[in-house]
């Protein structure tokens, strides 16, 4: 099963360079907006999920530190080909 959500955003002047092209880092911000909307469509609140996992991120990470981000995936039985 594939769940697709759509969230339209208007490009703001502050997100572009002098030629009117969106600065690449803004795409990450927009992906975050999409992730929150997908979470809502799946029936859970992203903030609640953060609260559950907050205890594993007590200290900031530094260069060359290792990190184990919380999360999981499920294996899909369908294949595209």
Half-sphere exposure of residue 71: CA atoms within 13 angstroms, side-chain side: 6
Token code pair at residue 1: 């099963």
The alpha carbon dihedral of 11, 14, 18, 21 has a sign of negative
DSSP 3-state of 33: helix
Q: Is 65 one of the catalytic residues?
A: no
Give catalytic residue positions: 17
């Amino acid at each position: 099963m594939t769940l697709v959500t759509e969230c339209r955003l208007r490009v703001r002047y502050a997100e572009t360079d002098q030629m009117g092209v969106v600065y690449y880092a803004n795409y990450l911000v927009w992906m975050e907006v999409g992730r929150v909307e997908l979470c809502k469509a799946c029936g859970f609140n992203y903030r609640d999920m953060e609260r559950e996992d907050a205890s594993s991120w007590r200290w900031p990470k530094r260069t060359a530190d290792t990190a184990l981000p919380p999360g999981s995936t499920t294996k899909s039985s369908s294949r595209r080909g």
